[in-house]
Amino acid sequence: MKKQVYWGWNEDSIELFNEDGHIVFSWPAAYYVDWGAVVGFYRNQNTVPGDYKWSHAKEYTKKYGITPANVAKKFNGISYSQVVSKHPNWVKVVQTRKGRIKPNLFHSIESVDLVDQAVKDGLKNITPLIVLFNESPKELKKRFGDSNWKALCKNSFSRNRLIYHALNQHWLAPIEAEIVMYYNNYPSTLFRNKWYTRDYESVMLALKTVNCSMAKMDEIKNRRELNKICDIWRDTKSMCERQGVTFNPRWSWRRIQEEHHRMVAEQQREAQRMQAERDAEYAKLLNVDFRTLHKGLEIIEFDSGVIATPLINMEQVQIQGQKEHHCVGIYASSCAHGNYLVWSLKKGEVKSTLGINVIEPRPVAQRGVVDVYVASQHYHACNKSVEDQDFIDAASKIVKMLNEKNKVEKALDKELEAA
């Protein structure tokens, strides 16, 4: 049965304790916490090693008779009823339209005294700025300068509050006076319609292009159509920049649509051309016989009973991957380019697949020329490791044979050149 949880004050912190008198959680008041904070408190109190784990939450529940999630819920309820709700002027600034307070805004309760004093002085309209910077009106005036401060003081409480929430919604960097003034340049309608973006200029120009005034934004019921208009405007601008075409923000909506359709069509034609080239190249690769690229691609029967069969075209490589349920099929095009080789090894009913990298020969100090053929991977079906020594020995002999054949071919080429 879940145990009761009681609470009390410890200076500025709220302490929760159960029926047995054990402190189950303690945290500064007016903060929003989740179950992870409760588990963290438990780990710190009991010096539990390691990272947060669900097992720690289970240990907590077993020890105190209540889950960390319920403790967090209890703490948040006490914090709101005993602290937050007692500061209505601050709440009016930080709460959303739905009457909620976002967790990341709870820390700003430090500004409640400044907010209450501003309301008494008849300066309610600037309380959002006081909460934002936790500074008095005198300090804010010094921060913004006379002209900017006068402009902000002319704003209504509702407008300054919209700016406050827009900044907290998207501006992650430290907020400076210049950023606030940037947001102050744009109509409140943008903030009310949740156009939370740093690119307000693009939104306004896009709306102006289609002769949609800011006053009419609230009347537009089809938000998708409005989004589409702004997206086309931004896409046209970015495509012009990529293609080296001068974009004119004063273009009519008809001209923007024409330019957008033209450049999209060009992109599609380019994509189709590149796809056709890839398809033509792929068709050629399908006909490549790997025996024309490498010497020694012949079936080998080893004394151990292992039979090694080279795969000599792309289709065989792809079928091998399907049959053995592993990824060797993706190397088919590399094989056709001469950069990879695949062998199928079999002993009785047991099969394996050997992958071999083909690298360009290059001189190495004190070694002459490095091996061209190097074993890459060797697996049974479903990528099961190969442990049978007969398969391992056969793979080594295949690689060695290929390198010997390569050296012989190189030597013959040099003799022919000399002759």
Q: Kindly write down the DSSP assignment for every residue of 305-366, as one continuous string.
A: S-EEEE--SHHHHHHHHHHHTSGGGGGHHHHHTTSEEEEEEEETTEEEEEEEEE----EETT
Please give the helix or strand (H or E) that residue 280 lies within, else none.
helix 253-286
Highest mean pLDDT among 39-53, 94-108, 124-138, 189-203: 124-138
**pLDDT at position 219:** 47
Res 366 pLDDT > 50: no
**pLDDT at position 340:** 94
Rounded to 10 degrees, the C-alpha dihedral 204/210/211/215 comes to -50
**pLDDT at position 6:** 80
- Which of 141-155, 205-219, 265-279 has the least mean pLDDT? 205-219
Res 367 pLDDT > 50: no
- Per-residue pLDDT of 236-270, as tens digits, reads 988 999 888 898 877 887 888 899 999 999 888 98
Query: 16 by DSSP, 3-state: which?
Result: strand
Res 221 pLDDT > 80: no
Evaluate the CA torsion angle 120, 125, 128, 130 in order and state its sign: negative
Query: 384 by DSSP, 3-state: which?
Result: coil
| Of residues 23, 28, 29, the one with CA closest to residue 42 | 23
pLDDT confidence of 2, banded at 50, 70, 90? low
**Based on the number of CB atoms within 10 Å of its own CB, is 333 exposed (0-12), middle (13-18) or buried (19 or more)?**
middle
pLDDT confidence of 49, banded at 50, 70, 90? low
**pLDDT at position 143:** 93
Res 172 pLDDT > 60: no
Give the span between the Cα atoms of 360 and 369, in whole angstroms. 10
Extract the tokens encoding 313: 């075209």
Cα dist. 125→138, 157, 190 in Å?
Answer: 15, 4, 19
Among all chains, which residue has been given the structure tokens 């005034």? 213
pLDDT confidence of 364, banded at 50, 70, 90? very low
Evaluate the CA torsion angle 105, 109, 110, 115 in order and state its sign: positive
- How large is the average pLDDT for residues 137-159? 93
As a whole number, the mean pLDDT across the chain is 81
**pLDDT at position 234:** 82
Give the span between the Cα atoms of 392 and 203, in whole angstroms. 65
Res 68 pLDDT > 70: yes
- How large is the average pLDDT for residues 379-383? 91
**pLDDT at position 51:** 55
Phi, psi of 162 (to 5 degrees): -60, -40
pLDDT confidence of 63, banded at 50, 70, 90? confident
Res 106 pLDDT > 60: yes
Q: What residues contact 352, with CB distance under 8 A and at least 6 apart?
A: 344, 345, 346, 378, 379, 380, 386, 391
Give the span between the Cα atoms of 415 and 339, in whole angstroms. 26
Contact 321, 351 (CB under 8 A): no
Question: How would you classify the pairing of strands 373-379 and 368-369?
Answer: unpaired
- How large is the average pLDDT for residues 365-390? 81
- How large is the average pLDDT for residues 82-110? 80
- How large is the average pLDDT for residues 394-401? 94
- How large is the average pLDDT for residues 107-113? 84
Res 176 pLDDT > 90: no
